[in-house]
Amino acid sequence: MAEIDFKGRVAIVTGAGGGLGRQHALALAARGAKVLVNDLGGAVDGSGATIGAAQQVVDEIRAAGGQALANGASVTDFAAVQAMVQQAVDAWGRVDVLVNNAGILRDKSFAKMDMDDFRLVVDVHLMGAAYCCKAVWPHMVAQQYGRIVMTTSSTGLYGNFGQSNYGAAKLAQVGLMQTLAIEGAKHNIRVNALAPTAATRMTEGLMPQEVLDALKPEAVVPAMLVLAHESAPTRTVLCAGAGTFEAAHITLTQGVHLGVGSDIPEQLAARLAQVVDRTGEQVPQNGSAQGTNEVGKALAGR
């Protein structure tokens, strides 16, 4: 097996002052990357700010012989994000890897959720990732190399009670990944997503302690390293937790052509089981695959 190393690479990890982000930063540094450790230093709900958490991780990396810089930008502040990327470029000349890990929680059932809390979670997870991608993109295009890892979630992929804001933002990151991977392909920019199950500040109190003990953040890190490496795939959603790794796919069934007419709603209801039958489903290479399938069946039915 070829070694997964990052010698000569420069990485930015957001939300890296603790938990999973800290483990990402430490692992990248241990394998040779120069790492900019970003963390707002706030609470799980996003309140407060201090660069102390990021600096502590930087100190750990330096003590182990690595190179690192601390940054306290909020990913919701585009100007600050641009300055963060420039900080890495000024220090090391390039940015090869971006791990979008920063996030917050404001959990409540949708009926009780304040829309300001919905928007804030979307701003941090989705707009924060978009801002970071936008800031590194021209550098990656210019150097014809880049690896971007989104952090999605099983909540985004499959739902979870009390997390409508978080789930919406996390699945939106997958949508962002899909298009950026297509647009980045000609520039050797590969974009993937990681869906971690890990015990961090954001999961405390949500699971029994014995489960939390099994879900060490370190167990997720190998998936990130694979997705961030020069040998990475692109448009892949890797799920990881407790040392187990899976892949998630957004698929398209073969479907049924019914045509148009006044009774089509009744026909669709009657044949819905056939429409959702997963036999022969595909993982589309782009959004046009749906239309291609639909038009193809319509023309074949003439």
Phi, psi of 205 (to 5 degrees): 85, -5
**Is 157:237 a contact under the CB 8 Å cutoff?**
yes
Phi, psi of 40 (to 5 degrees): -65, -25
Q: What is the pLDDT of residue 46?
A: 72
Sign of the torsion formed by the C-alpha atoms of 197, 11, 137 and 105: positive
Q: What is the pLDDT of residue 264?
A: 98
Instruction: Flag residues of the chain having pLDDT under 50.
Output: none
How far is residue 26 from each of residues 71, 72, 236, 266, measured CA to CA in Å?
15, 17, 23, 57
Residue 167, helix vs strand vs coil:
helix
Alpha-helical runs (H) found in 110-163? 115-122, 128-143, 154-158
How do residues 115-160 score in pLDDT, each as one tens digit?
999 999 999 999 999 999 999 999 999 999 999 999 999 999 999 9
Q: What is the pLDDT of residue 199?
A: 76
Q: What is the pLDDT of residue 204?
A: 65
**Is 89:108 a contact under the CB 8 Å cutoff?**
no
> Whole-prediction pTM value?
0.94
Sign of the torsion formed by the C-alpha atoms of 116, 117, 123 and 128: positive
How far is the C-alpha of 242 from the C-alpha of 119, rounded, in Å?
31
DSSP symbol at 263 = T
Q: What is the pLDDT of residue 201?
A: 61
Q: What is the pLDDT of residue 42?
A: 72
Q: Which CATH superfamily is domain 10-248 in?
A: NAD(P)-binding Rossmann-like Domain (3.40.50.720)
DSSP symbol at 276 = S
Two tokens, residue 35: 């790492």
Q: What is the pLDDT of residue 285?
A: 94
Q: Please pick, among 131, 145, 158, 166, the residue that the annotation labels catalytic.
A: 166
Q: Residue 95: which of 228, 5, 236 has the closest Cα?
A: 228
Burial letters 215-226, b for 16+ CB under 10 A, else e: bbbebbbebbbb
Q: Which amino acid is at 291?
A: G
Q: What is the pLDDT of residue 202?
A: 58
Q: Residue 131: which of 188, 189, 77 has the closest Cα?
A: 77
Element spanning 87, H or E: helix 78-92
Q: Per-domain residue ranges for the chain? A: 10-248, 264-300
Q: What is the pLDDT of residue 198?
A: 82
**Bridge partner residues of 245 (DSSP):** 240
**Is 213:203 a contact under the CB 8 Å cutoff?**
no
Residue 166 annotated as catalytic: yes
How far is the C-alpha of 186 from the C-alpha of 164, rounded, in Å?
35
How far is the C-alpha of 125 from the C-alpha of 104, rounded, in Å?
8
How far is the C-alpha of 20 from the C-alpha of 44, rounded, in Å?
13
How do residues 8-50 score in pLDDT, each as one tens digit?
999 999 999 999 999 999 999 999 999 999 999 877 767 777 8
